[in-house]
Chains A and B, each alone.
Chain A
Amino acid sequence: MKELLILGAGTAGTIMANRMRRRLDPVQWRIRVVDEHPTHFYQPGFLFLPFGIYEPEDIIRPKRRFMPSGVEYVEARAERIEPENNRVVLGDGRTLPYDVLIVATGTHPVPGQVEGMLGDDWGRRVFEFYTFDGARRLTEHLRQWRGGRLVVHVSEMPIKCPVAPLEFVFLADWWLQTQGLRDRTELVYVTPLSGAFTKPVASRVLGDLLERKRIQVVTDFAVARVDNERHRLVAWDDREVPYDLLVTVPPNFGAEVIERSGLGDEMNFVPTDRHTLQARGHDNIFVLGDATDLPTSKAGSVAHFEAEVLTENLLAFTRHQPLPARFDGHANCFVETGFHKAILLDFNYNLEPVPGRFPLPHLGPLRLLGESRLNHWGKMAFLWMYWHLLLPGRPIPFVRHQMSLAGKQIPAGALKPEMAG
């Protein structure tokens, strides 16, 4: 019997387990999924906990529930991948052989990578919302907030869901107004980038929005340390940003098993072919989701689109055929802007987010790179789609893995030529 082994039962790994179980012959192929944590979090929901939009029970499910019958779920820590032996060694010493390995081990915040971030202020004045516990602690802290200087900060790129810190500051502006605290709160957004976002057209739109919402922006800020005594962020160029409450996005690293296996780059992301999703230098290892080093967003939508490409490529690989499918870097992100509105971004390797309609040209009903209430309700509806369509690997209506140019207003020069693998 042949073995398909999947490391990680997050968004990417769960989708692949479901899709491949439907496509691979159960007599010939065993599918096993390894993950050490029992709980699946709807991670986009972490952002909403501090503002009371979601409660914990909305965003928590057991991981096992999303494993279809015919998939063996192994709750264990992956200690080491041994590509030369085609096997994975688990924390308890067991070894699992594979014919094909899918690495879907994700990324996580590592606050210890910034000097002083885990100092006395951590959990008192310094918080993060990229983990369930972090988001809950921040929720409790915000309930005590009576005003002051609230700083939202991105340590360095890349980070998971690069729009989330912007959404946080937009939602904070809205929430503080509903609490009657906005006039007593100075809101500051601190970023290592030269503008609000990584891509120029969207950066201008989002930058205007920050200005209209009276949110101060500090750009090109490369954080050197957190000064806990003076409650300040200090940059390498000696600029300082004081805070009463710091909501930071710590540096994001890939899984430690990648580092232990010598398969990653300097941040433990796996060098991956941009189009086929094959690990560079390892024919029978494929990578998807946040674990890759691909130059696109680390986001659930990306994992979802990659999963469609990877399904075709894996099936071809098992038949010793050339890999037919090409991933185009497609990402689709809702940006909550507060007051029941949101902006939708749709982009790929070659085209940055531009204005337009989605998913249907002219009809929409969603608006690209513009605020609308319907976008917000689209985002809210997505929670249901996530549990019921996305994780089980079922198609999302009208949305294809290849980004569509139809319905987009593309400024001159915005569409870049095809990039090499």
Chain B
Amino acid sequence: MPETTIAGHTVTVDEEGYLTNPSQWNPDIARALARDLGLELTDAHWKVLEFMRRDFQERGTVPGMRRLNKVGGFATKDLYTLFPDGPIKKAARIAGLPKPTSCV
């Protein structure tokens, strides 16, 4: 796995730039990854990121849209406003989680 430096921290990433080890993540890295995607993180972004990290820790998979709606309490429309185009992919990337796959 390639190593790279984000916000002064050395992390391992996959070919597409997703962190491969969620424990290497920290808020500075998140802000830097967000800036790469043209996003400035607000409280509303952080709520989503924190939910996704917590949920990933508990279940081992990146939550899908239905789970973000029902368990996280985030409306799809709001998620598209916060993370335009591909909210789950973008939020997972910023949260230091693997690229979400609908694996079947």
A residues adjacent to B (C-beta < 8 A)? 156-158, 162, 192-193, 198, 220, 222, 224, 236-237, 251, 265-267, 295-298, 420
* Minimum CB distance partner of A349 in chain B: B103
| B9 on interface, CB distance cutoff 8 Å | no
| B7 on interface, CB distance cutoff 8 Å | no
* Minimum CB distance partner of A352 in chain B: B103
* Minimum CB distance partner of A224 in chain B: B76
Contacts of A297 in B (CB 8 A): 104
Q: Can you pick out 11 interface pairs between chain A and chain B where the beta carbons lie within 8 Å of each other?
A: A198-B102, A224-B77, A236-B76, A236-B77, A236-B80, A237-B80, A266-B67, A266-B69, A266-B70, A266-B71, A420-B60
Inter-chain contact B67/A265, CB cutoff 8 Å: yes
The DSSP consensus for interface residues of chain A is loop
Which B29-64 residues have a C-beta within 8 angstroms of A? 60-61, 64
* Minimum CB distance partner of B102 in chain A: A157
Complex CA gap A193/B103 in Å reads 10
Given contacts A266-B66, A266-B70, A266-B71, contact A237 B84 (CB under 8 A): yes
Contacts of A222 in B (CB 8 A): 65, 76
Complex CA gap A296/B96 in Å reads 25
Contacts of B64 in A (CB 8 A): 266
Contacts of B103 in A (CB 8 A): 198, 295
Complex CA gap A158/B69 in Å reads 16
Give which listed residue, B60, B61, B66, B101, contacts A267 with CB less than 8 A.
Answer: B66
Contacts of A236 in B (CB 8 A): 76-77, 80
| B86 on interface, CB distance cutoff 8 Å | yes
Whole-angstrom distance between the Cβ of A269 and the nearest chain B Cβ: 10
Give which listed residue, A156, A158, A251, contacts B104 with CB less than 8 A.
Answer: A158
Complex CA gap A237/B84 in Å reads 7
* Minimum CB distance partner of A158 in chain B: B104
* Minimum CB distance partner of A298 in chain B: B104
Contacts of B66 in A (CB 8 A): 156, 251, 266-267
Inter-chain contact A156/B67, CB cutoff 8 Å: no
Which one of A266, A295, A298 has the greatest number of beta carbons of chain B within 10 Å?
A: A266
Given contacts A198-B101, A266-B71, A295-B103, contact A156 B65 (CB under 8 A): yes
Complex CA gap A297/B104 in Å reads 5
Complex CA gap A267/B65 in Å reads 11
Complex CA gap A198/B103 in Å reads 6
Give which listed residue, B61, B70, B102, contacts A158 with CB less than 8 A.
Answer: B102
Contacts of A266 in B (CB 8 A): 64, 66-67, 69-71
* Minimum CB distance partner of A236 in chain B: B80
Complex CA gap A397/B65 in Å reads 41
* Minimum CB distance partner of A331 in chain B: B104
Complex CA gap A296/B60 in Å reads 16
Whole-angstrom distance between the Cβ of A330 and the nearest chain B Cβ: 13
Whole-angstrom distance between the Cβ of A327 and the nearest chain B Cβ: 14
* Minimum CB distance partner of A238 in chain B: B80
Whole-angstrom distance between the Cβ of B97 and the nearest chain A Cβ: 16
Complex CA gap A224/B87 in Å reads 14
Complex CA gap A334/B67 in Å reads 31
Complex CA gap A237/B64 in Å reads 17
Given contacts A222-B65, A224-B76, contact A295 B104 (CB under 8 A): yes
Complex CA gap A295/B71 in Å reads 20
Whole-angstrom distance between the Cβ of B89 and the nearest chain A Cβ: 9
Whole-angstrom distance between the Cβ of B21 and the nearest chain A Cβ: 16
Inter-chain contact B101/A237, CB cutoff 8 Å: no
Complex CA gap A73/B77 in Å reads 46
Given contacts A224-B76, A236-B80, A237-B80, contact A162 B104 (CB under 8 A): yes
* Minimum CB distance partner of B70 in chain A: A266
Whole-angstrom distance between the Cβ of A225 and the nearest chain B Cβ: 11
Contacts of B65 in A (CB 8 A): 156, 222
Complex CA gap A66/B62 in Å reads 40
Given contacts A237-B85, A266-B71, contact A198 B76 (CB under 8 A): no
Complex CA gap A220/B86 in Å reads 8
* Minimum CB distance partner of B69 in chain A: A266
Which B65-103 residues have a C-beta within 8 angstroms of A? 65-67, 69-71, 76-77, 80, 84-86, 101-103
Q: Besides the contacts A265-B67, A267-B66, A298-B104, what 19 more A-B pairs have beta carbons closer than 8 Å?
A: A156-B65, A157-B102, A158-B102, A158-B104, A162-B104, A192-B102, A193-B102, A198-B101, A198-B102, A224-B77, A236-B76, A236-B77, A237-B80, A237-B85, A251-B66, A266-B64, A266-B69, A295-B103, A295-B104
